[in-house]
Amino acid sequence: MQFSQKSTEHINSCRFCWMCHHVCPIGNATGLERNTARARALGLSMVERGAVEYSDDIVSNVYECSLCGGCMTDCVTGWDPVMFTKEARLGAALDGILPDYVLTMINNLQEKGNIYGADKNPNIPVFENSDTLFFLGEDTRAKGCAKYAIEILKKAGIEFAILENEPSSGYSMDFLIGAAAETKAVMENCANVLSSYKRVICYDPADAKVMLREYKEWGIVLKAEVVTFTAFVAELIKSGALKVKKGDMVLTPQDSPLLARDIEETQPMRDILSACGEVNEMLLNREYTVLAGNLIMNEYMPQVMEMVAEKRWFNAKNADTKILVTASTAEYELLSKTKPEGMELLKLEEVVAKCL
């Protein structure tokens, strides 16, 4: 495969040191060197130099990365393993050597509208006739629930629409094959659907990340104002539109890497939790957070994803966490599967709903 000049520079400049070794959620969960950014960079550098072929094993290794950006955050020299890992996935797509599980997910998106192949969720309501759209996202529609989120928006008197046939934001395609023409087509379709709204509230950090970052890089124009659900709710509480009563809950935020690193948003979640109770931080928080799960990877690495979630619970336990709070559907679903006895897990909107 051919890497771009920028990715080649980053791959060849990487010294394969140990600087980012300790922050990889996948490597820490499995204990396997091949799952670290260091090992991945070493393998792709040999591909780039022509020393080895872009084999099925190396392609599989490329998909063992969650793209969470922890390695990039800890690299003081500024090299970006996420960038060349995404480009390697694009290369696999262009070379026709994508793993079968990736092809299955892409086909599911074309046939079912989501990569999971899930039928329409009967628990998702449809609301129309508003210039504000509440965008739920693929993970929530296929795997999760937004019951309390809808409830608190209604309590605040917000009029909003929820689409019956919500398009994919393009996050899943960007994750699976990166900057391909097919990814851009999915994003453009979503942007066209959103063009009739003045404001879009993104429930899932994954969709907010794509709309606020990737669309700009692709030159895809969004007419609507895009705001994260966390930032929107924090403003509702600050303005008094949503009235909460502070209780005695001790709440520990699990920062989504998509919010904390890609969008650089960490304060709104804390503003919300501070209005509802006392905030107790984990050691690794804000931009140094650790991923607690990814539902796309759960389709082909379920045991590893459970191990990732278990590791984050271990971090929470060491911080004397009583209630762990997340704003991510993916992390909530995987943390729910692995929750230890005696600890509680809540979505952010559940915390708010308890304090109304």
Continuous segment of H or E residues that includes residue 326:
strand 323-326
Provide the whole-model pTM. 0.95
The pLDDT tens digits for 73-116 are 876 776 788 999 999 999 999 999 999 999 999 999 999 999 99
**Which tens digits make up the pLDDT trace of 54-71?**
999 999 999 999 999 998
Say yes or no to pLDDT of 14 above 80: no
Using 50, 70 and 90 to split pLDDT, how confident is the model at 18? low
Q: How many CB atoms lie within 10 A of CB 33?
A: 11
Tokens of 256: 């989504």
pLDDT the model gives residue 16: 66
Contact between residue 78 and residue 10 where contact means Cβ atoms under 8 Å apart: no
pLDDT bin (cut points 50, 70, 90) of residue 122 is confident
Whether residue 231 is predicted with pLDDT greater than 80 in this model: the reply is yes
CA distance 333 to 344: 13
pLDDT at 45 over 90: no
Output the pLDDT for position 50: 87
For residue 84, the Cα-to-chain-centroid distance in whole angstroms is 18
User: For residue 340, what is the DSSP state?
Assistant: P
pLDDT on residue 25: 94
Q: DSSP letter string over 160-172?
A: -BB-TTPPP-SHH
Domains and CATH numbers, the chain: 5-94 (no CATH), 132-233 (3.40.50), 243-354 (3.40.50)
Sequential DSSP letters for 176-240: HH-S-HHHHHHHHHHHHHHTT-SEEEESSHHHHHIIIIIHHHHT----SEEEEHHHHHHHHHHHT
Residues of the chain with pLDDT > 90, as a percent, come to: 82
Please give the Cα distance from 323 to 87 (Å, whole number).
38
pLDDT exceeds 90 at position 245: yes
Beta-ladder partners of 15: none
Pairwise CA distance, residues 176 & 106, whole Å: 8
Confidence of residue 236 (pLDDT cuts 50, 70, 90): very high
Residues 72/10, Cβ–Cβ less than 8 Å: no
At 298, phi and psi to the nearest 5?
-65, -20
Q: 309 with 338: CB under 8 angstroms?
A: yes
- Model confidence at 235: pLDDT above 70: yes
> For position 42, what pLDDT does the model report?
85
Which 3 state secondary structure label does DSSP give 269? helix
pLDDT at 123 over 90: no
- Determine contact, residues 234/274, Cβ cutoff 8 Å: no
pLDDT digits (tens, 9 = 90+) for 154-204: 999 999 999 999 999 999 999 999 999 999 999 999 999 999 999 999 999
Could you identify the residue written with the tokens 């935020």? 253
Q: Count H helices, E strands: the chain? A: 20, 7
Confidence at residue 23, expressed as pLDDT on a 0 to 100 scale: 84
**Mean of pLDDT over the chain:** 94
Q: Is the pLDDT of residue 146 over 80?
A: yes
Residue 22's pLDDT is 78
pLDDT of residue 15: 65
Containing 7, the helix (H) or strand (E) segment is helix 5-13
Average pLDDT for residues 288-306, to the nearest whole number? 97
Question: pLDDT, tens digit, for every residue of 314-334?
Answer: 999 999 999 999 999 999 999
Which residue's structure tokens are 């606020």? Answer: 212
What does the pLDDT average to over 225-239? 98
Across the range 213-230, mean pLDDT stands at 95
pLDDT at 304 over 70: yes
